[in-house]
Structure 1
Amino acid sequence: MGAFIDLAEQWGDDIVCPIAAEAMPSAPADAETYGYLSGLILEEVQKGVNRILLALHGAMITENTLDGEGTLLKRIRAIAPDIPIAVSHDFHANVTVSTVTNCTVLTGYKTYPHTDLYETGYKAACILYDAMQGQCNPVMAWRKLPLMSHTLKQGTDDEPFKLLIRRCREAERETGVLNVSLFGGFPLADSPYTGSSVVVVTDNDDLLANRIATDIAEACWDSRHQQIYQSTPLSDQIQTAKKLTDGPIILLDHCDNCGSGGTQDVMTVIRAIMEAGLEDVIVAAVWDPKAVATMQAAGVNAEVALPLGGNTDMPAIQQSGHPLQVQGNVTHLTDGRFRIDGPMYHGLEVSMGPTAVLDTGNMQIIVVSRHIEPWDPGLFHSLGIDPAQKRYLLLKSRIHYRAGFADMARHTLLLDGDGVTTSDYQLLPFHHLKRPVFPLDPLCSFEPNPVPNGL
């Protein structure tokens, strides 16, 4: 959005921004909310504009469509068939034919954690602007893979995605290539479109676009076994953590990551760490508005005993919520607002809602009233806590934590607990997923043929 605004001002445009909204992943968006948000955009299109710049995630599912973004773009096209449209997508987009065929240009993030939002929007908008000036004619090629890679293996500082993204950047240096995007996909979305894909934009060169799209897609498919996470028993990882002496040591409760759709109130890992006797642990964060309200009523320095977390049942994995009885002192109470200083969403003010810190002796637990993934140290600093001074940071995160904590960590351990953001896809009841797909169907194959509609 920042890039769109900067460029529109540079071009002397009058800017219309009907809506800017974001939420943590969860259940499908209700039809009323989707209708309201998309309706605001469609109303402005109906009034008349000369170009459209859209920052869309790319994996939206609602009660009335399995393709939120593609459906929106089809509706825009019905109103304004010839309007130039630039779209930026998240690295985790499940790209659809409706999206690709109803926009002029599509670009995607090349980083996970996502630190190139501005650059991605800038590239999409500039290609569109050049096309409107007659300086290029964007054409796109798209390859969809039958591959649901594990999010834990999608970090772009790790192999195989580090090499795959490098190949995308190298391809962009070829004459006539405007943009190359590899999308890891959002595997926890239950839709026919779920999975990895490649989109290549060239200047009026279909053959070049298709060649590069095929090359990148085949390289991604060849590395599919590297994209699968191998789990380790929770007890083994905790024992490993106990033996480490130099901190900070980051412990990732990755199965309960709200940034991927987790409830953020599963207490399995926290309970296990308490029982193992780890000391000097700080937890970010448990979602429990009721517990926050109890601590607010008690006040700072009060000693409280209360059930924490476990408020949400998870029928998708056939588990019920189980609160953990805790006791300790309330050390901090805030409104939960802070500004992000790190590279991901830099400068944005966010709100955790009313927030409290409970000190149980060996563990400090940050309890929030709104879901937020802990990827920025500002979360701790807003509570007067220096995370670099703690021995263990227990974060309900997967990869995004690296944006703010990778340089701080001496060690990082993945803790396999419970939660709907599990990497064990066998636990998840997919109803709409197109099969066969790897790794659910290990013997499935990939034929890198162009998708329908001439792409």
Structure 2
Amino acid sequence: MKILIARLNHETNTFSPVPTRLEDFGLNGPDYDADAYAANKGARTAMGAYIDLAEAFGAQIVTPLSATANPSGPVDGDAYRIMTHHIVDAAAGCDAVMLDLHGAMVAESTDDGEGDLLERLRMVCPDAPVAVALDLHGNVTQKMIDNADVIAGFKTYPHVDMYEAGHLAGSVLITKLKGEASPALAWRQLPLMTHTLMSATQSPAMHAAVEKARALEQRGEILAGTVMAGFALADIPAPCLSVIIVGKDKASAQAHADALADDIWAQREGYVYHSPPLSESIARARHAHDVPGLAHPDCGAANGPVLLLDHSDNCMSGGTCDTMDVLQEALAQGLSNIAVGPVCDPETVAALFEAGEGARVTVDLGNKRPLESLGIVKAPLRVEGTVRRLGSGEYVISGPTYTGMKCGMGRTALFEFDGVQVVVTEKTQEPWDLGVFTCVGVDPSTKDYLLLKSRMYCRPVFFPIAKGYVECDSAGVTSSNYDLFPFRKIRRPVYPLDEVSR
């Protein structure tokens, strides 16, 4: 038996000015064929799980592509064509297909990147069953449902179960190949645009929904169940929450999908995040710092820093990683002993490298990418300071997400001014690890405040060294304030943009 296994991941923020080119899919572009296999064999990815399952099944494996890029703007049309053609061209003659996708890919040529790919694969090999693993933030479409046999998604956010989602989807497909089951796919989409902060699986509403899906699986009532929170920062018809059930027959699968969706709808307010004004958030951070010896219940160090989580400029949702709003407000309110990182500003990096370590320079920091889709243009922050350290910006993630993965921020400089140390980089980067600071000689645990361009993935690593955290919503392309976004394609009414009665 011949099984095609491929990975193509991108979460598209259609409002982001950050380009998504072919070379952005990996450290040096996509991995093809044997390199795609090597990149995932033994890895904790859905594609890694597929490889393990297919090899245990004794199948011949075809691995045409492994490509993943950080969230950013719509995928370049040629890049999308090249990558999807490489998958489709390898499909002829395959007996089954296992795909590691995201579910929220928008390209310049299509609003439904995954649905179009699946439709083309179905045309090439109409009799080959297809299994798909999706990110929890996928925007599911009818075309995706119509052209897949099995779909299973992540059940954690922050995501730590990529391998498990692939293993579940692939295992159900193999039962079909063996003739041991006839899985039936059902889904229900709600007119509900969730806020990403409320899709965390420790958030009460999302936690309850995911646990109901787990319970259905554990009781054997279904083969797989997924709550897809969706990714709302995409101007497409339905960037909304979905429930996907893989059942033993169509009728029962749909009944379970409808029942779980109805439960979610009854708790819809639990998926909405209400942002306080930025000035209020910074004031709360200062208060948290000033209370001696008291740590937030989620944090682990009574004398550690307070985290300022700038979730409006989070590169893992398409942020530019260069907005200065939170830092400016912190300085205005007198906060000091702050470490910031990373700020993506290649122009400033070039100036700091040219000046050299120890040099005293004046730079225009951040706010370089105009947020044209939001009608916002910000002026850089002009500051005078000292170049403290220059480096390669490389570090290795200690875990728990992507443990052992080598990361590179491009050339990286540590710039210090007015009680602030800023890690300035050539590339956008999620603060996956303390390494974003330690690679340039900063011990983040010694700071009073850490300003992180992050929404969620920093938490497993930074919360243990912090005494508290505050979520900061500034005017960026990953803001939780949907009023900033000029949605044009979305089907209305949709909650919470509109009042919706059902």
Question: Which residue number in structure 2 is paired with residue 352 of structure 1?
Answer: 409
* In structure 2, C-alpha distance between the alignment counterparts of 1:271 and 1:413, rounded to whole Å: 16
Q: In terms of mean alpha carbon deviation, does 237-246 or 286-295 score higher?
A: 237-246
Q: Does 1:429 align with 2:474?
A: no
SS in structure 1 of the partner of residue 383 of structure 2: strand
Tell me, yes or no, if structure 1 residue 22 matches structure 2 residue 56: no
Conservation of the 8 A alpha-carbon contact between 1:329 and 1:358: yes
C-alpha distance in 2, partners of 1:445/1:360? 53
Of 400-409 and 209-218, deviating more is: 400-409
SS in structure 2 of the partner of residue 160 of structure 1: helix
Q: Could you tell me how far apart the structure 2 residues matched to 1:260 and 1:219 are?
A: 27
Query: Shift of residue 4 of structure 1?
Result: 2.1
SS in 2 for 1:305: strand
* C-alpha RMSD of matched pairs (Å): 1.6
1:162 matches 2:218: no
Aligned partners of 2:279, 2:401: CA distance in 1, in Å? 32
1:116 to 161, 165, 183: 161
Q: What per-residue deviation string (whole Å, max 9, x for no partner) do you get for residues 290-341 of structure 1?
A: 1111111122222221101111111221111321112222222222222222
Once the two structures are TM-superposed, the CA of residue 16 in structure 1 deviates from its matched residue by 2.5
Asked if 1:242 corresponds to 2:242, the answer is no
- Aligned equivalent of 1:180, options 225, 234, 238: 225
Please tell me whether residue 399 in structure 1 is matched to residue 452 in structure 2: no
Q: Paired residue for 2:142?
A: 97
* Corresponding position: 1:295 with 2:352: yes
> Which of 55, 61, 69 is the matching residue for 2:114?
69
Letter in 1 for 2:153: G
TM-score, scaled to structure 2: 0.85
**Map of 1:445 onto structure 2:** 501
What is aligned with 1:341? Answer: 398
Partner of 1:131: 176
Q: What's the secondary structure of 1:45's corresponding residue?
A: coil
Distance 1:392 1:427 in 2: 28
Secondary structure at the aligned position of 2:62 is classed as coil
Q: 1:221 aligns with which of 251, 255, 265?
A: 265
CA distance in 1, matches of 2:133, 2:348: 39
Q: Given that residues 338 and 449 in structure 2 are in contact (C-alpha distance below 8 angstroms), is that contact kept between their aligned partners in structure 1? A: yes
1-structure distance, mates of 2:445, 2:52: 35
Partners in 2 of 1:386 and 1:85 — Cα distance? 48
Question: Structure 2 CA distance, aligned partners of 1:409 and 1:227?
Answer: 26
Distance 2:124 2:58 in 1: 25
Aligned to 1:85: 130
**Are 1:266 and 1:322, in contact at CA under 8 Å, matched by a contact in 2?**
no
Residues 435 and 265 (structure 1), Cα distance of their counterparts in 2 relative to 1, 3 Å cut: same
Whole-angstrom CA distance in 2 between matches of 1:89 and 1:414: 27
Which residue matches 2:4? none
Give the AA of the match of 1:319. I
Instruction: Check the 8 A contact 2:94/2:125 in 1, yes or no.
Output: no
Alignment of structure 1 residues 304-383 onto 2, 5 Å: 304-383=361-440
Q: Residue 259 of structure 1 aligns with which residue?
A: 316
The match for 1:451 is none
> How far does the alpha carbon of each residue in 1:8-47 deviate from its partner, in whole angstroms, 9 at most, with x for none?
333333433222222222221121111011011111113x
Q: Aligned pair count?
A: 443
Q: How does 1:4-19 map to 2 (within 5 A)?
A: 4-19=50-65
Q: Is the 8 A contact 1:375 1:397 kept in 2?
A: no
Structure 1 residues 19 and 334: CA distance shift in structure 2, 3 A: farther
Structure 2 unaligned blocks of 5 or more: 1-46, 291-302
Other-structure match for 1:278: 335
User: What's 2:295 paired with?
Assistant: none
**Structure 1 equivalent of residue 475 of structure 2:** 418
Is the CA contact 2:191–2:238 (under 8 Å) kept in the aligned structure 1?
Answer: no
Choose the corresponding residue for 1:32, options 61, 78, 84. Answer: 78
SS in 1 for 2:263: helix
Secondary structure in structure 2 of the residue aligned to 1:170 = helix
Shift of 1:176: 4.2
Question: What SS is found at the alignment partner of 1:306?
Answer: strand
Of 117-126 and 418-427, the range deviating more from structure 2? 418-427
Q: Which secondary structure does the structure 1 equivalent of 2:213 belong to?
A: helix
Output one character per residue of 1:189-215: Cα deviation in whole Å (capped at 9) or x when no partner: 111131000001122x22321221112
Query: How many percent of aligned residue pairs carry the same amino acid?
Result: 41
Match of 1:41 in 2: 87
CA distance in 1, matches of 2:472, 2:368: 21
TM-superposed deviation, 1:430? 1.1
Q: Distance in 1 between matches of 2:395 and 2:501?
A: 47
- Following superposition, the deviation at residue 346 of structure 1 comes to 2.1
After the TM superposition, which of the residue ranges 243-252 and 359-368 deviates more from structure 2? 243-252
CA separation in 2, counterparts of 1:215 and 1:248? 44
Q: AA paired with 2:309?
A: L
Mapped partners of 1:13, 1:277: distance in 2: 63
Distance in 1 between residues matched to 2:423 and 2:355, nearest whole Å: 16
Aligned mates of 2:227, 2:465 — CA distance in 1: 29
Query: Contact 2:95–2:127 at 8 Å: present in 1 too?
Result: no
Matched, 1:3 2:44: no
Match of 1:56 among 88, 92, 101: 101
1:58 shift after superposition:
0.4
Determine whether 1:152 maps to 2:197.
Answer: yes
Structure 1 residue 143 displacement after superposition: 0.3
Worse-matched range after superposition: 386-395 or 277-286: 386-395
Deviation, structure 1 residue 236: 1.9
Deviation at 1:419, TM superposition (A): 0.6
Structure 1, unmatched stretches of 5+, are 447-455
Distance 2:75 2:186 in 1: 30
Other structure's SS at 2:421 match:
strand
Query: Does the 8 Å CA contact 2:342/2:425 hold for their aligned counterparts?
Result: yes
Paired letter, 1:18: P
Query: Would the aligned equivalents of 1:251 and 1:392 in 2 still touch at CA under 8 Å?
Result: yes
Q: Do the aligned residues in 2 keep the contact of 1:249 with 1:411 (CA within 8 Å)?
A: yes
Distance 1:406 1:6 in 2: 34
Per-residue CA distance 1:135-155 (angstroms, 9 max, x = gap): 211111100000001112111
1:230 paired to 2:274:
yes
Instruction: For 1:67, give the aligned amino acid.
Output: D
1:449 aligned residue: none
